Structure 1
Amino acid sequence: MMFTDVVFYVLAAILLLSGLRVITTRNPVHAALFLVLAFFTAAGIWLLLQAEFLAIALILVYVGAVMVLFLFVVMMLDINIDKLREGFWEYLPMAGTIGLLMIVEMGMVLAEKNLRPSQAVTLPPNYSNTAELGKVLYTDYLLPFELASVVLLVAMIAAIVLTLRDRKDSKSMNPADQVKVKRNDRLRIISMPAEVEPEHVAPEEEK
Structure 2
Amino acid sequence: MILSALAFYLFAIILVFSGLMVVTARNPVHSVLFLILAFFNAAGLFVLLGAEFLAMILVVVYVGAVAVLFLFVVMMLDINFAALRHGIKQHLALGLAVGIVLLAELIFSGTALAPQVTAHIAQAGAAPAGATNTQALGAILYTRYIYAFEGSGLILLVAMIGAIVLTHRSRVGVRRQVISAQINRSRAETIEVVKVPTGHGI
Q: TM-score, normalised by structure 1?
A: 0.59
Q: 144, 150, 153: which one pairs with 1:149?
A: 153
- What is aligned with 2:28? 28
Q: Is 1:173 aligned to 2:179, yes or no?
A: yes
Give 1:26's aligned amino acid.
R
Higher RCO (CA 8 Å, separation ≥ 6 residues): 2
Change (3 A) 1:36 1:9: same
Identify the structure with the greater helix proportion. 2
- What is aligned with 2:63? 63
Change (3 A) 1:169 1:12: closer
The worse-fitting range, judged by mean Cα deviation, of 43-52 and 139-148 is 139-148
- What is aligned with 1:182? none
Contact persistence 2:22–2:35 (CA under 8 A) = yes
Whole-Å separation in 2 of the counterparts to 1:136 and 1:164: 39
Change (3 A) 1:144 1:120: closer
Give 2:166's aligned amino acid.
L
Aligned pairs, how many?
Answer: 139
- What is aligned with 2:77? 77
The structure having more radius of gyration, on CA atoms, is 1
Aligned ranges 1:102-181 → 2 under 5 Å:
120-121=124-125, 126-166=130-170, 169-174=175-180
Task: Find the residue that maps to 2:179 and give its secondary structure.
Answer: coil
- 5+ long unaligned stretches in structure 1: 81-118, 179-207
Whole-Å separation in 2 of the counterparts to 1:4 and 1:54: 18
- 5+ long unaligned stretches in structure 2: 81-122, 185-202
Q: Deviations 1:118-142 (Å, cap 9, x if unpaired)? A: x843766633121111111111221
- What is aligned with 1:7? 7
Whole-Å separation in 2 of the counterparts to 1:120 and 1:156: 40
Q: Deviations 1:143-176 (Å, cap 9, x if unpaired)? A: 22112111111111011111214487544434xx
Give 2:153's aligned amino acid.
S
Change (3 A) 1:18 1:146: same
Contact persistence 2:43–2:59 (CA under 8 A) = yes
Aligned ranges 1:177-188 → 2 under 5 Å:
none
Contact persistence 2:8–2:48 (CA under 8 A) = yes
Change (3 A) 1:129 1:165: same
Contact persistence 2:128–2:136 (CA under 8 A) = no
Give 2:2's aligned amino acid.
M
Q: TM-score, normalised by structure 2?
A: 0.60
Whole-Å separation in 1 of the counterparts to 2:5 and 2:76: 42
CA RMSD between the two structures: 2.7
Task: Find the residue that maps to 1:70 and give its secondary structure.
Answer: helix
